[in-house]
Amino acid sequence: MYINTTGYYIPKQRIPNSYYTEKTGLTDDWIVQRTGIHTRSRAAADENINTMGLEAIHDALPRLPYDIREVDLLIAATYSPYDTVGTAAHVAQHHYAIPHAKAFTLSSACSSFINALEVVEGYFAMGKAHRALIIGGDKNTAYSNEDDPKSGHLWGDAAVAFFLSNERIADTDAEVLEVYTEALGTIGKGPESIQLRPRDGGIRMPEGKDVFLQACTYMPQNALRLLTHHGYTFDDLSYFIGHQANMRILKNIATSNSIPEEKILSNIAELGNTGSASSALVYAQNRERFQAGDLVCLSVFGGGYSAGATLIKI
């Protein structure tokens, strides 16, 4: 499986930590020390996963080596759909007049994008698709409770688009060596750890400590699983991109696995936790940084619990 190109969209507005000092009394120093977040991206009132997804696709199109109408599989990876019937995948199909494609949305909290990547891999393996588009992203601020001192200050908005093929199309294509996902609903606090109940408080993270501990365990564990399977170690990695939930988690993973700081890519300081976009968004933002032969690992952890990783050779 190959990544043909990527695109992304990040809303212009940034919300500083001082905004939450007024809301919950949390100081800038407190938020930075515990999360690494300085600002977070916020979508406008008329923006949502559909509009942001279309913008991310638009950003990718100049580098797409084939006509977008050749896409035969569209997947939206999100837990904050604007419409649960006419999904972001269907909106993209309609907007770009893509005929006869399969289109649907899947959700596995913040690991949704990696799950979508594995679904694409399956469709390719079965011969039921040849060109795929994943739209990943969330408008977290449509559901976040800004008065919640536990997690109201964490969330940002963004979208990312990945175009993939079952065979190499151009010399610049990156190869997805492997994708791995797992459901972890039986560990720790499981499904009660993070919640999104629109009529009952919106997005909440009542078990933040447990989330931190599990993420610090499973993100490096799944990265190592893929590295070992392909004869690599953490020393061979060019870049590690973890889910952008908390800078302390990323630093813990780096320290515990002796990964140099310059190999850890992140955007959480500026954008906050962008949910389903997260690690894929960091990858797309750094597309010009990567060089031929680089080895990049994305590893994620989401509520529910869920986790996954992918290993990419540039």
For 211, counting Cβ atoms within 10 Å of its Cβ (0-12 exposed, 13-18 middle, 19+ buried), the class is buried
Burial class (CB in 10 A: 0-12, 13-18, 19+), 112: buried
pLDDT tens string for the chain (314 positions)? 999 999 999 999 999 999 999 899 999 999 999 999 999 999 999 999 999 999 999 999 999 999 999 999 999 999 999 998 899 999 999 999 999 999 999 999 999 999 999 999 999 999 999 999 999 999 999 998 888 888 899 999 999 999 999 999 999 999 999 999 999 988 887 787 777 777 777 787 767 788 888 999 999 999 999 999 999 999 999 999 999 999 999 999 999 999 999 999 999 999 999 999 999 999 999 999 999 999 999 999 998 899 999 999 99
Hey, CA dihedral for 115, 117, 122, 123, is it positive or negative?
positive
pLDDT at 200: 75
CATH number of 174-313: 3.40.47.10
* CATH dotted code for 2-165: 3.40.47.10
Distance, CA of 205 to CA of 191 (rounded, Å): 11
Token pair 């972001």 in the structure block, residue: 88
Partners of 311 in beta bridges: 178, 297
278: burial class by Cβ within 10 Å (0-12, 13-18, 19+)?
buried
Portions of the chain given CATH number 3.40.47.10: 2-165, 174-313
CA angle (106 as vertex; 280, 216 as ends), nearest 5: 50
* CA–CA distance, 238 with 296 (Å, rounded to integer): 6
pLDDT (0 to 100) of residue 204:
76
- Is 247 in contact with 40 (CB distance < 8 Å)? no
